[in-house]
Amino acid sequence: EWLLLWLANAVVAFVVIYIAYSSNQIQLTVMGFVGAVVGYPVLLHAKLFTFRGATPAEDKSVGFEFILQMADNLLQPGITQSLEEMSATLVKEWRAVPFVQLAPVAKDYVTSHSLPEGHPRTKDEIREWIDQLLADAQTNPGNADDNARALYTEMELIGGMRGIRWILQHSK
């Protein structure tokens, strides 16, 4: 298992270093190249220190990999909160734009961008659905907010937050 893990990391290091070297971003000798490819996995999995347990089986070794995992665990809640705040801001901005402005731009977005793999509808079906939402909002103004929420949900599925931002930027 250790050898397979080391080999996988060596391949990753080889690819990254080769790409950087081939694009003239770094200068390396052959020995430096081999040292980086072989040394990266060793450094990543090296143990910096060990907490002794009651038995050798209970010993906890700490290395760079453990530190990276801890940093990820510490940063993840902040990243999640930031994404939730960005999403809430986008929803607020979306609701501030009249639906009659959002719908045509959403149709343009669907036309100009590819659908995610496995999306249940075709582009034509989505454009027709947007036309139906727009017609409904124009004949029944009370439904505009519900239609805007439905359109937001569909556009988020198609383009994520980038898609929502694109539509907001082009609808103003």
What is the pLDDT, as a whole number, of residue 15? 82
Strands (E), 16-87: 47-51, 60-63
H/E element holding 9? helix 2-22
| Terminal Cα-to-Cα distance of the chain (whole angstroms) | 56
Write the pLDDT tens digit of every residue in 80-125: 888 888 889 999 999 999 999 999 999 999 999 999 999 999 999 9
d(CA 92, CA 84): 12
What is the pLDDT, as a whole number, of residue 42? 66
CB neighbour list of residue 52: distance below 8 Å, 6 or more residues apart: 59
Give every residue of the chain whose pLDDT is below 50, as ranges. none
Tokens of 142: 């009370």
- Considering the entire predicted model, what is its pTM? 0.57
